[in-house]
Structure 1
Amino acid sequence: MVHLVTLATCNLNQWALDFEGNRDRIIESIRQAKAQGAIFRTGPELEITGYGCLDHFLEPDLYMHAWEVYRDILTSPEAQDMLIDVGMPVYHKNIRYNCRVVAYNKEILLIRPKLWMANDGNYRELRYFTPWRGLNQSEDYFLPRAIRDVTKQTTVPFGDVCLRSNFTYFGFETCEELFTPNSPHIKMALGGVEIFTNSSGSHHELRKLNTRLELITEATKKCGGVYLYSNQRGCDGDRLYYDGCALIIVNGEVVAQAAQFGLKDVETIVATVDLDTVRSHRSSPSFGMQSQNTPEASLNTVVKYSAFSDGTNLDYDPTIVPTPTRPIRYHSPEEEIALGPACWLWDYLRRCRAAGFFIPLSGGIDSCATSVIVHSMCRLVAKEAKEGNQQVIADARRLARVSEDNEPDYLPTDPNEFCARIFHTCYMGSENSSQETRDRARDLAKAIGSYHVNFNIDTVTTAIRVLFTTVTGHTPKFKMFGGTPTENLALQNIQARIRMVLAYMFAQLLPWVRFGGNAPGGLLVLGSANVDESLRGYLTKYDCSSADINPIGGISKHDLKKFIAYARDAFELPILNEFLTATPTAELEPITEDYVQSDEADMGMTYDELSVFGRLRKVKKCGPYSMFLSLLHEWSPRLTPAEIAVKVKRFFYFYAINRHKMTTITPAYHAEQYSPDDNRFDLRPFLILPGFPWAAKKIDEVVKRYSETKQD
């Protein structure tokens, strides 16, 4: 016997506190699901308010507005004759809960609060919500008056409940619950649930999707079932990019997968599944015996839903077939860098109402990578415009400053032409700059289509040095001219800080220069400090690493190089090869026949070593001593214990003395597990004893024992 049902899930690009926009996107996803024959629709976590409201979740107004928006959804014509599962925050007995609200034809069937909270890394859910602790229990929830007037109900079940129709069980998970050791879907499967949902607000990290998809497929590979995964996609107002990838899984195999990255605000996927394959998958004796020992998984809420078949219809239509399985689609890390930060930049730009982007090009690989990501964004815009995405076209036309009067037929289908309208680059040279970096910056700007300017900053820095000499009677010198390290560093930093000041001046005024006094808004200044430099503190506080947002601030130098090599070929930008072969240099000191400033020489460690230090410190939670012991096994015999000790102690010293810089670091796209982003992801103090003397003594003792053993 075949028992077919058609189910829908979606990616939604929700925005924190955009109640009307969020509502309209939810309704559009329901409309798309119904148009494809679905009888059930689920959506992302907290989709009515947006997941990233942060401390706004502490405001009572938010909960009132959530119910007001839910009423609009409940009464919309698109939401009728379909079982809909919507995510929203709910007050119950003066406690805040993160909930799923399930309804059919203006009747709320149940409210299911989240059982387990995400409360590490980027997540602080326990700051805003209380987990539901009444496992397998529910109680009455008294609906707000405005909802009672619509549903004609006073109370609905609230708690750890599932939904039973006349032929199957639905069970509901929310994001973190999938990642817990004893996930709710295990209990629900043994209790009879056949269709599971997971509504998520899961952010992008490089190489993270594999782990998430393994957990999702494993959820039904062993227990059987249909698993609908929904996720937010886009930047909803913070450093995170939620990377979509909604899925429909049957018995551990994918039958539908939405895109991970993209500019579509609503993407709904639908699959027709055969519930009898689930029942066959669960036919083992061990499953039956364990099921007998499991309490019934729901409150037995029964929905008389005529659109469902009960499996006995003799007029079965053989032309309706289950959706076939398909392989999972993954992006390489290089593609993730090309797509994730680009989509994040697009959401940020179109929602903050700025006129475009501005970046100082140094001729090095970091500012190059940021610029190529903007170029990738323009390519995505052009692709969507060619495919007729009206939301992207409308946003692009506004950003390009066109109207029905001046360019009525304009479409942003040429990425370089669109880039010239919204992206501004400059090269701020000095007496310490080389012709090579100046030429690379100019050639890159030409290749991607940005509006480029070129000037020197020497007159400004000279004026500041003269001012200092006039006031103090002292003239600072670079070290190669006899100056002290203090003088040398001060002369480097003033160049870097002047570039920041000039960047903001040009970002504010270039639209006025190009488009006149009616140009709307200024440009967003983009940063280009990578995650390794931030970790080491190898940047000047309030230099041009200080910007509005930074798309590469969570990406390692190693990954950026691989991305540039990928973009060189995929985007047909041969100029990028020159950036790959160039020596990383800040060009803040004079260049002589015998000396060219080198980043890795200045830092006393390579970028690859910094990535290792970062992962051990943050991901593996190593202090100096445990990091040394770990590297002692990993790096020997290439390095001696004494050499490893020097590198570890040097890293922690500079990490400690520069930690204060992270308190003012530019908000960056989160892409790496070892991001040092202060107060958001890496909650460590910014005043730290630099030498870590106790740990340093223990390291020295181990080095000494190794030395004595070798001598023996």
Structure 2
Amino acid sequence: MSPIKIASGTVNQTPLDWKGNLDRIIRAVKEAKSEKAEILCLPELAITGYGSEDLFLSYWFPQKALKQLELLIPECTDITVAVGLPIRIQENVYNCVAVIENAILKGFVAKQYLAIDGVHYEFRWFTPWQANEVIDFEFQGENYPLGDQIFEHKGIKYGFEICEDAWRGTMRPGYRLAERNVDLIFNPSASHFAMGKTRERYQLIQESSKIFDCYYCYANLLGNEAGRMIFDGEMMLGKSGEILGRNQLLSFQDFQVKSFYLEPKKQDIAPILEKEKEFVQAASLALFDYLRKSKSKGFVLSLSGGADSSTIAILVSEMVKRGIQDLGIVLFCNKLNLPLPPKEENADKFLVGELLTTAYQGTKNSSNDTFQSAKTLAESIGAKFYHWSIDEEVFSYTKKIEEAIGRPLTWEQDDITLQNIQARSRSPIIWMLANIKNSLLLSTSNRSEGDVGYATMDGDTSGSISPIAAVDKYFILHWLNWAEKNLKQPGLQLVNSLQPTAELRPLERTQTDEKDLMPYAVIVEIEKLAIRDKRSPMDIFLILHEELQLESSVLKDYIKKFFRLWSRNQWKRERLAPSFHLDEFNVDPKTWYRFPILSGGFAEELEQLDQL
């Protein structure tokens, strides 16, 4: 086999941004050529973006993708380029890779297995290709082979597994490619980010290159492409069970190219990051892409001084730090239409002040501790900070309803009503601030609250996006302590000293989240089994009874409370603001877990617990 240099490329694409998508691909091709790479593999559906949803079902959209391919082909002189796009053949749409060699189209490979689990709904848009089938496809007046085929370059035989193809065990196309004696397999992917997932990919590339005894090259999409899913831009090469090269993930760049020599020695392997670092890098990149792609001017945040809103404030601060480090201050500011910081100013703090406006909206039930926590944190990162009382608004609403129903509201009789009106009274004025500033309002709900409906609809759930709605509260509390030390965020010291509380009841009632619900450590164990693993209440009890040091009656009560609150609050999860997929699972019915709004609420299943 001739020793050659190949390249993996990643691009940060956006559905319907035809000109921008093509430009980023062409720039990646030019970069690969400048690095003397002879073959460049770009990600799955790179021309259109993976998140184009039902646009794939139209007739015009795949046709437009082919028009972009026409424009790309002349740019691929002196290099072979593989690039993903959808192709419609009569009533069916196929997820394909076009192979261009020295500005000549050689043919198309079609994806054989479609992802349908978790965040993926590919069977809604695409038809799986049959193994070993190749047809003629007319393009620009000529016929080109399309289907299950391999290619050759300087005596090197190469083929493709497209993303999900590689995750199908003994059914995967790689076995048929190995029978055809390929030397190299490319995997163009649109594999969503989740904390810890890169370890699975690392193992996949190791095992694939070993099983098939070949080079195995991986190329993933990059960035928050269309709003919810984040792609980490992973690029990797393996050979015979060894990882030879890997890039650092989650770049703020428009595109990246990583070149590899086809030789069995290690070449620049970036380390796999710990979960806490992955979280901050992915969330900050997602915020950056969401901000610039939505063409908004900044963020507005109701900063309570508690864990959730403080986490989001830190993520915005880290977005600025990491964006400047990755892009340089001039390009970072240009991408977000920001002024350059004056030379005498701290650049990070100045830009956070330009981008993030916060407000502490207190009531007579709020404590000075949370006010000081919010104020100190905002000042430490440079965010604009306002504060006001909403007691007048709460009193006005309460007085009107008391006059209408002819009785006073009391905490003994109207607890939820009196809590919710405070949360809802905060929403209109913070929305006003977001509108004034043409900014995105950041909702502060977390996944644990989504599980049990511990959130006020049209109150703390109000927002344009909900950055941490896919992350559990137990992790957030742990991460904040980690961030204070490892991200050098001293403004978190007061935040981390407080016990989580909604502060909606009078202070003498000593409200805390875990007193209202159950320990967050227990919630996360129940939800993993109930939502991630889809276990029954009985299964969960039997499993956790062995794992947790809880009395049987207490554990049963927690499980019953979780399932009753889960069933009752599906309507809230249906209305949560768009959130980023950051963990191995989430509770967003649009992207991971669908559940009926109306149901019997596990009544029979929960009754069985009492029979033990």
Q: TM-score range by the shorter chain?
A: over 0.9
Question: Which range moves more in the overlay, 213-222 or 348-357?
Answer: 213-222
Match of residue 359 from structure 2: 426
| Sequence identity (%) | 27
Secondary structure of the equivalent of 1:627? helix
Matches within 5 A, 1:458-497: 458-478=391-411, 483-484=412-413, 487-497=414-424
- Conserved 8 A contact 1:551-1:668: yes
Specify the code of the residue in structure 1 equivalent to 2:297.
A
Secondary structure of the equivalent of 2:534? coil
Counterpart selection for 2:84 from 87, 107, 113:
87
Match of residue 168 from structure 1: 156
Counterpart selection for 2:603 from 676, 693, 702:
693
Matches within 5 A, 1:240-319: 240-274=229-263
Secondary structure of the equivalent of 1:237? coil
- Conserved 8 A contact 1:393-1:411: no
Q: Distance in 1 between matches of 2:587 and 2:293?
A: 27
Specify the code of the residue in structure 1 equivalent to 2:445.
A
Instruction: Say whether residues 1:442 and 2:439 are aligned partners.
Output: no
Q: CA deviation at 1:411?
A: 12
- Conserved 8 A contact 2:2-2:155: no
Specify the code of the residue in structure 2 equivalent to 1:23.
L
- Conserved 8 A contact 1:140-1:158: yes
Match of residue 117 from structure 1: 114
Specify the code of the residue in structure 1 equivalent to 2:35.
Q
Matches within 5 A, 1:181-220: 181-182=169-170, 183-220=172-209
| 1:21-79 CA-partner distances (Å, limit 9, x unpaired) | 11011111111111001000010110000000011111111111101111111022xx1
Q: Distance in 2 between matches of 1:354 and 1:92?
A: 39
Q: Distance in 1 between matches of 2:582 and 2:61?
A: 29
Counterpart selection for 1:142 from 138, 141, 144:
138
Q: Distance in 2 between matches of 1:138 and 1:185?
A: 17
Secondary structure of the equivalent of 2:186? strand
Q: Distance in 2 between matches of 1:268 and 1:537?
A: 44
Counterpart selection for 2:583 from 661, 672, 675:
672
Q: Distance in 2 between matches of 1:85 and 1:574?
A: 47
Instruction: Say whether residues 1:627 and 2:540 are aligned partners.
Output: yes
Secondary structure of the equivalent of 1:4? coil
Q: Distance in 1 between matches of 2:178 and 2:157?
A: 9
Specify the code of the residue in structure 2 equivalent to 1:503.
I
- Looking at CA atoms only, which structure, 1 or 2, has the larger radius of gyration? 1
Q: Distance in 2 between matches of 1:541 and 1:531?
A: 15
Specify the code of the residue in structure 2 equivalent to 1:364.
G
Q: Distance in 2 between matches of 1:410 and 1:365?
A: 33
Residues 1:412 and 1:84: Cα distance change in structure 2 (over 3 Å): farther
Q: Distance in 1 between matches of 2:98 and 2:356?
A: 43
Match of residue 440 from structure 2: 524
Instruction: Say whether residues 1:179 and 2:167 are aligned partners.
Output: yes
- Conserved 8 A contact 1:227-1:249: yes
Q: CA deviation at 1:136?
A: 1.5
- Conserved 8 A contact 1:382-1:412: no
Counterpart selection for 2:555 from 644, 653, 656:
644
- Structure 1, gaps ≥5 residues long: 149-153, 278-322, 512-521, 703-712
- Conserved 8 A contact 2:247-2:269: no
Q: CA deviation at 1:551?
A: 1.2
Matches within 5 A, 1:553-702: 553-592=469-508, 595-603=509-517, 605-635=518-548, 638-690=549-601, 692-702=602-612
Secondary structure of the equivalent of 2:245? strand
- Conserved 8 A contact 1:5-1:39: yes
Q: CA deviation at 1:626?
A: 1.8
Specify the code of the residue in structure 2 equivalent to 1:499.
R
- Conserved 8 A contact 2:186-2:216: yes
Q: Distance in 2 between matches of 1:448 and 1:200?
A: 37
| 1:427-453 CA-partner distances (Å, limit 9, x unpaired) | 000000000100110000000100110
Q: Distance in 2 between matches of 1:256 and 1:453?
A: 48
Q: CA deviation at 1:223?
A: 2.6
| 1:459-516 CA-partner distances (Å, limit 9, x unpaired) | 11111111112222221022xxxx31xx11101100001111111011112x3xxxxx
Q: CA deviation at 1:103?
A: 1.4
- Conserved 8 A contact 1:9-1:269: yes
Instruction: Say whether residues 1:330 and 2:272 are aligned partners.
Output: yes
Please, what TM-score do these two structures have when normalized by structure 2? 0.96
Q: Distance in 1 between matches of 2:92 and 2:404?
A: 62
Secondary structure of the equivalent of 1:50? coil
Q: CA deviation at 1:208?
A: 1.4
Q: Distance in 2 between matches of 1:677 and 1:216?
A: 30
Match of residue 548 from structure 1: 464
Q: CA deviation at 1:165?
A: 3.6
Q: CA deviation at 1:602?
A: 0.7
Match of residue 380 from structure 1: 322
- Conserved 8 A contact 1:385-1:412: no
Specify the code of the residue in structure 2 equivalent to 1:473.
G
Secondary structure of the equivalent of 2:169? coil
Q: CA deviation at 1:419?
A: 0.4
Match of residue 3 from structure 2: 4
Match of residue 452 from structure 1: 385
Specify the code of the residue in structure 2 equivalent to 1:334.
E
Q: Distance in 1 between matches of 2:460 and 2:420?
A: 10
Instruction: Say whether residues 1:108 and 2:108 are aligned partners.
Output: no
Specify the code of the residue in structure 1 equivalent to 2:279.
I
Specify the code of the residue in structure 1 equivalent to 2:378.
A
- Conserved 8 A contact 1:338-1:563: no
Q: Distance in 2 between matches of 1:210 and 1:580?
A: 30
Q: Distance in 1 between matches of 2:352 and 2:583?
A: 28
Specify the code of the residue in structure 2 equivalent to 1:6.
K
Q: CA deviation at 1:624?
A: 1.5
Q: CA deviation at 1:410?
A: 8.3
Secondary structure of the equivalent of 1:47? coil
Q: CA deviation at 1:102?
A: 0.5
Q: Distance in 2 between matches of 1:325 and 1:36?
A: 15
- Conserved 8 A contact 2:193-2:229: yes
Q: CA RMSD in A?
A: 1.8
Q: Distance in 1 between matches of 2:80 and 2:346?
A: 39
Secondary structure of the equivalent of 2:262? strand
Secondary structure of the equivalent of 1:109? strand
Q: CA deviation at 1:579?
A: 1.5
Secondary structure of the equivalent of 2:71? helix
Q: CA deviation at 1:566?
A: 2.4
Instruction: Say whether residues 1:232 and 2:232 are aligned partners.
Output: no
- Conserved 8 A contact 1:239-1:669: yes
Q: Distance in 1 between matches of 2:425 and 2:195?
A: 34
- Conserved 8 A contact 1:432-1:587: yes
Specify the code of the residue in structure 2 equivalent to 1:687.
L
Please, what TM-score do these two structures have when normalized by structure 1? 0.83
Secondary structure of the equivalent of 1:51? coil
Q: CA deviation at 1:541?
A: 1.2
Aligned residues, how many?
611
Q: CA deviation at 1:111?
A: 0.7
